[in-house]
Structure 1
Amino acid sequence: MAIESVVVRQRVEDLDAAVPFYERLTGSTASRFAFAGVTLASVGPFLLFSGPDEAVRRVAGVAATLAVGDLDAAVEDAVAGGAEVVAPSAPTPNGHRAVLRHPHGGVYEYVGP
Protein backbone atom coordinates (compact mmCIF):
# COMPACT_ATOMS: atom_id res chain seq x y z
CA MET A 1 0.00 0.00 0.00
CA ALA A 2 1.22 3.45 -0.86
CA ILE A 3 -0.28 6.66 0.46
CA GLU A 4 -0.24 9.14 -2.42
CA SER A 5 -1.24 12.23 -0.45
CA VAL A 6 -2.54 13.40 2.91
CA VAL A 7 -5.36 15.92 3.29
CA VAL A 8 -5.46 17.99 6.47
CA ARG A 9 -8.93 18.47 7.95
CA GLN A 10 -9.91 21.81 9.47
CA ARG A 11 -13.24 22.80 10.96
CA VAL A 12 -14.18 26.43 10.31
CA GLU A 13 -17.13 28.40 11.61
CA ASP A 14 -17.74 30.27 8.34
CA LEU A 15 -16.77 28.32 5.23
CA ASP A 16 -17.43 31.24 2.88
CA ALA A 17 -15.09 33.47 4.90
CA ALA A 18 -12.36 30.81 5.22
CA VAL A 19 -12.13 29.64 1.61
CA PRO A 20 -10.47 32.77 0.15
CA PHE A 21 -7.62 32.56 2.69
CA TYR A 22 -6.88 28.93 1.79
CA GLU A 23 -7.19 29.62 -1.93
CA ARG A 24 -4.57 32.37 -1.60
CA LEU A 25 -2.38 30.21 0.63
CA THR A 26 -2.37 27.22 -1.72
CA GLY A 27 -2.89 28.87 -5.12
CA SER A 28 -5.77 26.41 -5.65
CA THR A 29 -9.45 26.94 -6.36
CA ALA A 30 -11.82 25.39 -3.83
CA SER A 31 -14.03 22.51 -4.81
CA ARG A 32 -17.17 22.61 -2.67
CA PHE A 33 -19.52 19.77 -1.82
CA ALA A 34 -21.81 18.47 0.92
CA PHE A 35 -21.63 15.12 2.70
CA ALA A 36 -23.56 13.73 5.68
CA GLY A 37 -24.99 17.10 6.71
CA VAL A 38 -21.64 18.92 6.49
CA THR A 39 -20.58 21.55 3.95
CA LEU A 40 -17.01 21.05 2.76
CA ALA A 41 -14.42 22.72 0.58
CA SER A 42 -11.34 20.96 -0.74
CA VAL A 43 -8.53 23.50 -1.25
CA GLY A 44 -5.10 22.09 -2.08
CA PRO A 45 -4.08 19.83 0.83
CA PHE A 46 -6.84 21.18 3.10
CA LEU A 47 -10.37 19.91 3.65
CA LEU A 48 -12.36 22.67 5.32
CA PHE A 49 -15.73 21.79 6.81
CA SER A 50 -18.58 23.49 8.58
CA GLY A 51 -22.00 22.58 9.86
CA PRO A 52 -24.09 21.68 12.88
CA ASP A 53 -22.12 20.25 15.82
CA GLU A 54 -23.69 16.79 15.60
CA ALA A 55 -22.86 16.38 11.90
CA VAL A 56 -19.39 17.93 12.25
CA ARG A 57 -18.42 15.52 15.05
CA ARG A 58 -18.56 12.63 12.56
CA VAL A 59 -16.15 14.43 10.23
CA ALA A 60 -13.91 15.86 12.97
CA GLY A 61 -13.35 12.43 14.52
CA VAL A 62 -11.10 11.52 11.60
CA ALA A 63 -7.51 12.77 11.88
CA ALA A 64 -6.77 13.04 8.14
CA THR A 65 -7.72 11.79 4.70
CA LEU A 66 -5.23 9.47 3.02
CA ALA A 67 -5.46 9.18 -0.78
CA VAL A 68 -4.44 5.77 -2.14
CA GLY A 69 -4.23 4.33 -5.65
CA ASP A 70 -6.15 1.16 -4.79
CA LEU A 71 -8.63 1.51 -1.95
CA ASP A 72 -9.45 -2.19 -1.61
CA ALA A 73 -5.77 -3.16 -1.46
CA ALA A 74 -5.00 -0.38 1.04
CA VAL A 75 -7.81 -1.47 3.35
CA GLU A 76 -6.73 -5.10 3.07
CA ASP A 77 -3.11 -4.21 3.88
CA ALA A 78 -4.08 -2.02 6.83
CA VAL A 79 -6.38 -4.68 8.28
CA ALA A 80 -3.63 -7.29 7.87
CA GLY A 81 -1.41 -4.96 9.90
CA GLY A 82 -3.91 -4.66 12.72
CA ALA A 83 -6.24 -1.84 11.65
CA GLU A 84 -9.98 -2.05 12.30
CA VAL A 85 -12.58 -1.06 9.71
CA VAL A 86 -14.83 1.61 11.23
CA ALA A 87 -16.77 2.25 7.99
CA PRO A 88 -16.41 -0.07 5.00
CA SER A 89 -15.71 1.14 1.48
CA ALA A 90 -18.63 3.14 0.08
CA PRO A 91 -19.16 5.65 -2.73
CA THR A 92 -18.95 9.38 -1.96
CA PRO A 93 -19.23 12.55 -4.09
CA ASN A 94 -15.44 12.29 -4.71
CA GLY A 95 -14.86 8.56 -5.29
CA HIS A 96 -14.89 5.82 -2.66
CA ARG A 97 -13.94 5.97 1.00
CA ALA A 98 -13.37 3.73 3.98
CA VAL A 99 -12.60 4.72 7.57
CA LEU A 100 -10.10 2.72 9.59
CA ARG A 101 -8.81 2.86 13.14
CA HIS A 102 -5.08 2.17 13.16
CA PRO A 103 -3.68 -0.21 15.79
CA HIS A 104 -2.37 2.72 17.83
CA GLY A 105 -5.73 4.53 17.96
CA GLY A 106 -5.70 7.05 15.11
CA VAL A 107 -8.78 7.14 12.88
CA TYR A 108 -8.20 7.88 9.18
CA GLU A 109 -10.32 8.16 6.08
CA TYR A 110 -8.88 6.33 3.07
CA VAL A 111 -10.05 7.53 -0.36
CA GLY A 112 -9.41 6.13 -3.78
CA PRO A 113 -10.85 4.48 -6.80
Structure 2
Amino acid sequence: MTFAGPRDDVMMLAMAVDAVVVRQRVEDLDAAVPFLLFAGPDEAVQRVAGVAATLAVADLNAAVEEAGGAEIVMPVQPTPNGRRAVLRHPGGGVFEYVGP
Protein backbone atom coordinates (compact mmCIF):
# COMPACT_ATOMS: atom_id res chain seq x y z
CA MET A 1 0.00 0.00 0.00
CA THR A 2 1.30 3.45 -0.84
CA PHE A 3 0.11 6.95 -0.14
CA ALA A 4 0.32 9.68 -2.73
CA GLY A 5 -1.11 13.15 -2.89
CA PRO A 6 -1.06 15.40 -5.95
CA ARG A 7 -2.14 18.29 -3.70
CA ASP A 8 -1.31 19.05 -0.08
CA ASP A 9 -4.96 18.94 1.00
CA VAL A 10 -5.75 15.62 -0.69
CA MET A 11 -4.36 12.24 0.28
CA MET A 12 -5.00 9.32 -2.05
CA LEU A 13 -4.54 5.69 -1.19
CA ALA A 14 -3.27 3.39 -3.93
CA MET A 15 -3.37 -0.37 -3.45
CA ALA A 16 -3.65 -3.58 -5.41
CA VAL A 17 -7.13 -5.07 -5.35
CA ASP A 18 -7.41 -8.83 -5.73
CA ALA A 19 -11.19 -9.10 -5.75
CA VAL A 20 -14.33 -7.01 -5.61
CA VAL A 21 -17.62 -8.07 -4.12
CA VAL A 22 -20.74 -6.18 -5.13
CA ARG A 23 -23.76 -6.28 -2.86
CA GLN A 24 -27.13 -4.82 -3.66
CA ARG A 25 -30.14 -4.80 -1.38
CA VAL A 26 -33.46 -5.38 -3.10
CA GLU A 27 -36.98 -5.34 -1.73
CA ASP A 28 -38.33 -7.82 -4.28
CA LEU A 29 -36.13 -10.81 -5.13
CA ASP A 30 -38.24 -11.56 -8.20
CA ALA A 31 -37.31 -8.14 -9.60
CA ALA A 32 -33.61 -8.42 -8.67
CA VAL A 33 -30.97 -7.82 -11.30
CA PRO A 34 -29.44 -11.07 -12.60
CA PHE A 35 -25.76 -11.68 -11.95
CA LEU A 36 -22.96 -13.62 -13.59
CA LEU A 37 -20.54 -16.03 -11.95
CA PHE A 38 -17.70 -17.20 -14.15
CA ALA A 39 -14.73 -19.53 -13.88
CA GLY A 40 -12.50 -21.45 -16.20
CA PRO A 41 -9.13 -21.25 -17.87
CA ASP A 42 -7.41 -17.85 -17.67
CA GLU A 43 -7.96 -17.24 -21.40
CA ALA A 44 -11.72 -17.69 -21.07
CA VAL A 45 -11.96 -15.64 -17.87
CA GLN A 46 -10.08 -12.71 -19.46
CA ARG A 47 -12.86 -12.34 -22.04
CA VAL A 48 -15.29 -11.21 -19.33
CA ALA A 49 -13.07 -10.11 -16.45
CA GLY A 50 -12.60 -6.54 -17.68
CA VAL A 51 -16.29 -5.90 -18.30
CA ALA A 52 -17.86 -3.58 -15.71
CA ALA A 53 -21.47 -4.44 -16.54
CA THR A 54 -23.68 -6.22 -19.02
CA LEU A 55 -26.48 -4.17 -20.56
CA ALA A 56 -29.48 -5.88 -22.18
CA VAL A 57 -30.78 -3.73 -25.04
CA ALA A 58 -33.78 -4.01 -27.37
CA ASP A 59 -31.71 -3.33 -30.52
CA LEU A 60 -28.04 -4.30 -30.28
CA ASN A 61 -26.99 -2.80 -33.61
CA ALA A 62 -28.61 0.54 -32.75
CA ALA A 63 -27.06 0.59 -29.27
CA VAL A 64 -23.56 0.05 -30.70
CA GLU A 65 -24.08 2.71 -33.39
CA GLU A 66 -25.43 5.24 -30.88
CA ALA A 67 -22.70 4.73 -28.24
CA GLY A 68 -21.09 8.08 -29.06
CA GLY A 69 -17.31 8.06 -28.79
CA ALA A 70 -17.09 4.45 -27.60
CA GLU A 71 -14.35 2.19 -28.96
CA ILE A 72 -15.55 -1.20 -30.18
CA VAL A 73 -13.50 -3.77 -28.28
CA MET A 74 -15.48 -6.68 -29.74
CA PRO A 75 -17.91 -6.11 -32.61
CA VAL A 76 -21.42 -7.55 -32.65
CA GLN A 77 -21.21 -11.32 -32.92
CA PRO A 78 -23.41 -14.31 -32.23
CA THR A 79 -22.91 -16.34 -29.06
CA PRO A 80 -24.66 -19.47 -27.76
CA ASN A 81 -26.90 -17.17 -25.69
CA GLY A 82 -27.70 -14.50 -28.32
CA ARG A 83 -25.67 -11.64 -29.78
CA ARG A 84 -23.17 -9.45 -27.93
CA ALA A 85 -20.69 -6.62 -28.37
CA VAL A 86 -18.16 -5.07 -25.98
CA LEU A 87 -17.49 -1.31 -25.98
CA ARG A 88 -15.00 0.90 -24.12
CA HIS A 89 -16.57 4.27 -23.39
CA PRO A 90 -14.58 7.55 -23.33
CA GLY A 91 -14.43 7.49 -19.51
CA GLY A 92 -12.70 4.09 -19.65
CA GLY A 93 -15.64 1.90 -18.64
CA VAL A 94 -15.96 -1.36 -20.57
CA PHE A 95 -19.51 -2.63 -21.06
CA GLU A 96 -20.95 -5.72 -22.70
CA TYR A 97 -24.13 -5.13 -24.69
CA VAL A 98 -26.44 -8.08 -25.36
CA GLY A 99 -29.60 -8.21 -27.41
CA PRO A 100 -31.31 -9.23 -30.60
- TM class, shorter-chain normalised? 0.5 to 0.7
2:46 aligned to 35, 40, 57, which one? Answer: 57
TM-score (norm 1): 0.58
- Residue in 1 that maps onto 2:76: 89
How far the C-alpha of 1:93 sits from its partner, in A, is: 1.0
- Which sections of structure 2, spanning at least 5 residues, go unmatched? 1-19, 21-28
Structure 1: unaligned runs, 5 residues or longer: 1-10, 12-25, 28-43
Tell me how far 1:53 sits from its aligned partner: 2.3
**CA deviation after TM superposition for structure 1 residue 59, in Å:** 1.2
TM-score normalised to the size of structure 2?
0.65
Query: Greater strand share, 1 or 2?
Result: 1
Q: Percent identity?
A: 77
| Cα distance in 1 between the residues matched to 2:52 and 2:63 | 17
In structure 1, what residue type is equivalent to 2:74? A
How many residue pairs align between the two structures? 73
Runs of 4+ off more than 3 Å? none
Please give the root-mean-square deviation of Cα atoms over the aligned residues, in Å: 2.2
Residue pairs, 1:1-113, within 5 angstroms: 45-78=34-67, 81-113=68-100
Equivalent AA in structure 2 for residue 75 of structure 1: V
More helix by proportion, 1 or 2? Answer: 1
Aligned counterparts of 2:76 and 2:43: Cα–Cα separation in 1: 23
CA displacement at 1:67 relative to structure 2 = 0.3
Aligned-partner Cα distance in 2 for 1:109–1:77:
14
